[in-house]
Amino acid sequence: MAAIPTATAPGLVQFYNWIFHPLDYMETQYRRWGDIFKARGTLMDWIFLSHPDALKYVLTHDGQELSAPGEVNQILSSLLGHTSLILLSGAQHRQRRQLVMPPFHGERLKVYGELIRTITHEVLADLTPGQPFKARELTQTISMQIILQAVFGLRQGERCQRLGQLLAQRLDMSSGRLGAALVFLPRLSQDYGPWSPGHRLQALVKEIDDLIFSEIQACRSNPDPNRSDILSLLLAARDGEGQGLTDQELRDELMTLLVAGHETTATAMAWSLYWVHHQPEVGARLRQELEAATGADPIALTKLPYLNAVCNETLRIYPVAMLTFPRRVEKPITVQGYDLSPGEVVVGAIYLLHHRPDLYPNPDQFRPERFLERQYGPFEFMPFGSGARRCVGSALAMYEMTIVLATLLQECELDLASDRPVRPQRRGVTLSMKGGVDMVYRGKRPIPELVGA
Ligand code: HEM
């Protein structure tokens, strides 16, 4: 059988392109090789897949012909810790997921609806009419508050503020070009003396850890059955042998949720603000739907069809996660007519999937209507991945996106500061935007019932 098409540029060139121009890199390989190709020199040889059938096969055979091992995510260990859910494998990974999932689903999730709206109001109250601001910073403040409340039950106060600031600084250090290199070349993160980039990084990590460990200690010594935050739930959890998580395991899990749950959603919300203002017809249609829903509770907002279509199209066009986590072939398999051997590593190329013209005509055009005209299957649209590692926070992320966007559009007038298109840009392991979207706050909107009264 033919060998899998393999990108031919030298490994170092491919690595450079993948870090600095990930979308161009993937598009170029896709145009040259099609639905399946092997990239060399990124970190290891990765096989990129973007056909829905191939993705379905690979992501639904986790634990059989394929696995979703944590070791291949080692690059994240300096940020998240070695015992993070993302770095665990097999039975340990499944058990940890069972512990972490419940607060993100069902009734528990509904509690966050009101909180998301309240936090959005508080952040809005700090803006004055005429004030320029960066959408990415506004949404980052909102998503940080939400995740700190969900994870630690921390709402306000000095500790909450300090932790938020430090985390934002830590994530900024992994975001620029040097930051991306720090992520992909972990040795650079080590402390080689006061002038090395690793020195400041390690000092920051220590300060964050001290705060997280003291939260864990406070919660351990004052168990409160009425608390419903994730730290309290994880502290109370026991495995089959009655063992709870150690402080280090707790720290790594909390850090994982803080990082995974905050950056991603902040970026997605900033993109949604950009698109509805960059395309006035989209903004107008959405405002019409929202005006008809004035007074609705936050949960009702999450069900509005056009609002959901806007959020889905936002996650389609520039998916914050460009790839799924890697899966490893465990038994010989055939994918797209090619034989894959045990040990080979495949990734779902979410960005390429979301730009397939056979699924999304004019894929570079932002057109939420496509999600009203057609029902996309789980392997045609998958911003949150699928299978054993599907995003645990997907429902919370959709709540945040819909409620924050609806609240902002219902209650205030915002404008883009410029007509210039905003371009996507890598931020650490995620896809974010260049410049953070410059906007201007024009002031509060009149409440519809009062118009003309
Ligand atoms: C727009 C926002 C988000 C996007 C686009 C996103 C996307 C993803 C993707 C693509 C994966 C990998 C799935 C796979 O390999 O099949 C993932 C995993 C994960 N996400 Fe999210 N995510 C978002 C928000 C969140 C939130 C709010 C949280 C938690 C509060 C979260 C926590 C996680 C965790 C812990 C994993 C690892 C799961 C595992 O290893 O089993 N994410 N996410």
How do residues 213-222 score in pLDDT, each as one tens digit?
988 998 888 8
Query: Which residues neighbour 63 within 8 Å (Cβ) at sequence distance 6 or greater?
Result: 388
Q: In the predicted model, is pLDDT for residue 451 greater than 50?
A: no
pLDDT at 452: 43
pLDDT at 434: 93
Residue nearest to ligand 1 atom 40, measured at CA: 86
CA of 256 to the centre of ligand 1 (A): 10
pLDDT at 411: 92
116-125, 232-241, 330-339, 417-426: which range is least confident on average? 232-241
Question: Residue 262's pLDDT band (boundaries 50, 70, 90)?
Answer: confident
- The verdict on the CB of residue 386 being under 6 Å from ligand 1 is yes
Residue nearest to ligand 1 atom 3, measured at CA: 264
pLDDT at 167: 85
Sign of CA dihedral 171, 431, 261, 296: positive
304-315 tens-digit pLDDT: 999 999 999 999
- The verdict on the CB of residue 262 being under 6 Å from ligand 1 is no
- The verdict on the CB of residue 325 being under 6 Å from ligand 1 is yes
The pairing of strands 338-340 and 333-335 is antiparallel
Higher pLDDT among residues 230 and 198, named by residue: 230
User: What average pLDDT does range 83-109 have in this prediction?
Assistant: 87
Residue nearest to ligand 1 atom 21, measured at CA: 391
Q: What is the 3-state secondary structure (H, E, C) of 320-354?
A: CCCECCCEEECCCEEECCEEECCCCEEEEEHHHHC
Per-position DSSP letters for 173-237, written without gaps between them: HTTSHHHHHHHHSGGGGS--STTSHHHHHHHHHHHHHHHHHHHHHHHHHS--TT--SHHHHHHH-
Task: State how far the Cα of 386 lies from the Cα of 394, in Å rounded to an integer.
Answer: 11
Residue nearest to ligand 1 atom 9, measured at CA: 384
Higher pLDDT among residues 441 and 182, named by residue: 441
pLDDT at 236: 85
- The verdict on the CB of residue 387 being under 6 Å from ligand 1 is yes
Higher pLDDT among residues 88 and 203, named by residue: 88
pLDDT at 44: 63
Q: In the predicted model, is pLDDT for residue 98 greater than 90?
A: no
Query: Which residues neighbour 308 within 8 Å (Cβ) at sequence distance 6 or greater?
Result: 302, 371, 398, 402
Continuous H helices in 34-176 = 52-60, 77-80, 90-100, 106-125, 135-152, 158-173
pLDDT at 232: 86
- The verdict on the CB of residue 69 being under 6 Å from ligand 1 is no
Closest alpha carbon to 144 in 164, 170, 166, 159: 164
pLDDT at 43: 59
Best residue among 384, 386, 398, 430 to mutate for probing ligand 1's pocket (most ligand atoms within 8 Å of CB) is 384
Q: Residue holding tokens 């395991």?
A: 249
Nearest atom (ligand 1) to Cα of 143: 27
Name the CATH superfamily for 11-82+92-450: Cytochrome P450 (1.10.630.10)
20-66 tens-digit pLDDT: 999 999 999 999 999 999 998 755 689 999 999 999 999 999 988 99
Task: State how far the Cα of 348 lies from the Cα of 325, in Å rounded to an integer.
Answer: 8
Q: In the predicted model, is pLDDT for residue 398 greater than 60?
A: yes
pLDDT at 186: 60
- The verdict on the CB of residue 322 being under 6 Å from ligand 1 is no
* Residues composing the chain: 453
Task: State how far the Cα of 319 lies from the Cα of 336, in Å rounded to an integer.
Answer: 24
pLDDT at 42: 55
Could you tell me if 191 and 83 are in contact, meaning their C-beta atoms sit under 8 angstroms apart?
no
Percent of the chain predicted with pLDDT > 90: 58
Higher pLDDT among residues 366 and 189, named by residue: 366
Question: What phi-psi label fits residue 295: left (phi over 0), alpha (psi between -120 and 50 degrees) or beta?
Answer: left
pLDDT at 188: 64
- The verdict on the CB of residue 142 being under 6 Å from ligand 1 is no
pLDDT at 453: 41
pLDDT at 185: 61
CA of 384 to the centre of ligand 1 (A): 6
Nearest atom (ligand 1) to Cα of 383: 5
**Average predicted confidence (pLDDT) for the chain:** 89
CA of 177 to the centre of ligand 1 (A): 23
Best residue among 149, 391, 402 to mutate for probing ligand 1's pocket (most ligand atoms within 8 Å of CB) is 391
Nearest atom (ligand 1) to Cα of 323: 10
pLDDT at 449: 60
Domain definitions of the chain by residue range = 11-82+92-450
147-201 tens-digit pLDDT: 888 888 766 677 777 888 888 888 877 666 556 666 666 666 666 666 666 777 8
- The verdict on the CB of residue 269 being under 6 Å from ligand 1 is no
pLDDT at 139: 96
